[in-house]
Amino acid sequence: MDVQIKIFDQKITFFSPGELYGKQTIEALRTDDYQAYTRNKLIAEAFYLTGDIEKYGTGYTRIRSEIASYPTMKFEFEEKPSAWLVTISYEEQKTDGNSELATKHTTELATNLSQLVTNLSVQVKTLIINLNKQYLSFEELKHATELATKHATISRQYFSKAYIRPAFNIGLIAMLFPDNQRHPKQKYYLTERGKEVLQSLRISEKPKNDEENDELAPNLSQLTPNLSVQVKKLIISLKEKYLSIDELQVATKVATSSRQYFRRVFLAPAFKEGFIDLLYPDKPNHPKQKYYLTEKGKKVLKALEA
């Protein structure tokens, strides 16, 4: 069976004998982060040397990018019995006079993104914001989420089920090593779609000014008596300093306790009330990470020392 290319009035089809090679899947090819597999390395190398292949594993991504400016053009592919079929079609030809159509298409894309963001769970939104433009391991991402949500600990099973899988299934995040999920250096990162969602989430955020924060904050005279001994010790130990978690454990005289206990009993409650923050908030596992008192924390410190 030979490769067949058929040209019609409003579409062109490419029929190639043979199934998808290696571990390649249709789902992966629909994303911009798929892993390339080479069936015949000698032919691939020859095309690369002649300039017919610019970069391995970017063909489908570049096709999508090229046809993006054609409002009604579609790029579709499917598996047939022992074959692969690709179809590129359009409903209306692009001309200089149909810019109105392109505008309509752009508006529809924006609407779809808005609907996607609206339907996202709080957990997935939190994951996207914490991942940002970083490459984080499962544990790093879980820890960042624990700090952001003010939870001392989140089980691996729940984190995978409520955060990772939903974001992964709709193509918002991808793995650095997709062919080896248990790779010792596995990292997660945002796909292009994920970055669009992140940008949309940032635009929709409304920063609170100091006046709003003051209105929301409880009266300090009522708050301080209700603080746990551990949180009080944490605030007094920090004062005007920037301390790492190890330094904080020594300063609060609980150096022998586990980190999990210290995060749950000391750090998490203080984060929840907005008393402390991170020196590197976008990188919770930064090797030089430090904790410090927020303005609200300093007011509590002042009240405690009075």
pLDDT more than 90, % of the chain: 8
- The CATH number corresponding to 120-204 among 1.10.3720.10, 1.10.10.350, 3.90.1150.10, 1.10.10.10 equals 1.10.10.10
Report residue 215's pLDDT band, with 50, 70 and 90 as the boundaries. Answer: very low
Looking at domain 210-305, its CATH architecture is Orthogonal Bundle (1.10)
Tell me how crowded residue 159 is: count the other CB atoms within 10 A of its CB: 20
The model's pLDDT over 74-107, given as tens digits with 9 standing for 90+, comes to 889 888 888 899 999 987 765 555 555 555 545 5
pLDDT of residue 209: 44
Domain with CATH 1.10.10.10 in the chain: 120-204, 210-305
Point out which residues pair with 45 in neighbouring strands.
Answer: none
Structure tokens at 275: 């008393």
Tell me how crowded residue 277 is: count the other CB atoms within 10 A of its CB: 17
**Under DSSP, is residue 56 helix (H, G, I), strand (E, B) or coil?**
coil
Q: How far is CA 161 from CA 3, 172, 285, in A?
A: 43, 15, 22
Q: Among 125, 167, 183, which residue's Cα sits nearest to residue 149?
A: 125
pLDDT of residue 88: 93
Q: Which of 8-17, 262-271, 283-292 has the lowest mean pLDDT?
A: 283-292
- State yes or no: pLDDT of 149 exceeds 80: no
The model's pLDDT over 156-202, given as tens digits with 9 standing for 90+, comes to 888 888 899 989 988 899 988 887 888 888 889 988 888 888 888 87
pLDDT of residue 46: 82
- DSSP summary character for residue 264: I
CB 170 within 8 A of CB 181: no
With a CB cutoff of 8 Å and minimum separation 6, the contacts of 222 are none
Tell me how crowded residue 207 is: count the other CB atoms within 10 A of its CB: 5
The model's pLDDT over 226-253, given as tens digits with 9 standing for 90+, comes to 788 889 999 998 887 888 888 888 888 8
Report residue 210's pLDDT band, with 50, 70 and 90 as the boundaries. Answer: very low
> How many helices and strands (H and E) does the chain possess?
16, 8
Structure tokens at 292: 């410090």
Q: Kindly report the average pLDDT of the chain as a whole number.
A: 79
Structure tokens at 200: 């949309």
The model's pLDDT over 24-56, given as tens digits with 9 standing for 90+, comes to 888 888 887 788 888 888 887 787 777 777 666
Report residue 305's pLDDT band, with 50, 70 and 90 as the boundaries. Answer: confident
Report residue 212's pLDDT band, with 50, 70 and 90 as the boundaries. Answer: very low
- State yes or no: pLDDT of 211 exceeds 50: no
**Under DSSP, is residue 40 helix (H, G, I), strand (E, B) or coil?**
coil
pTM above 0.85, yes or no: no
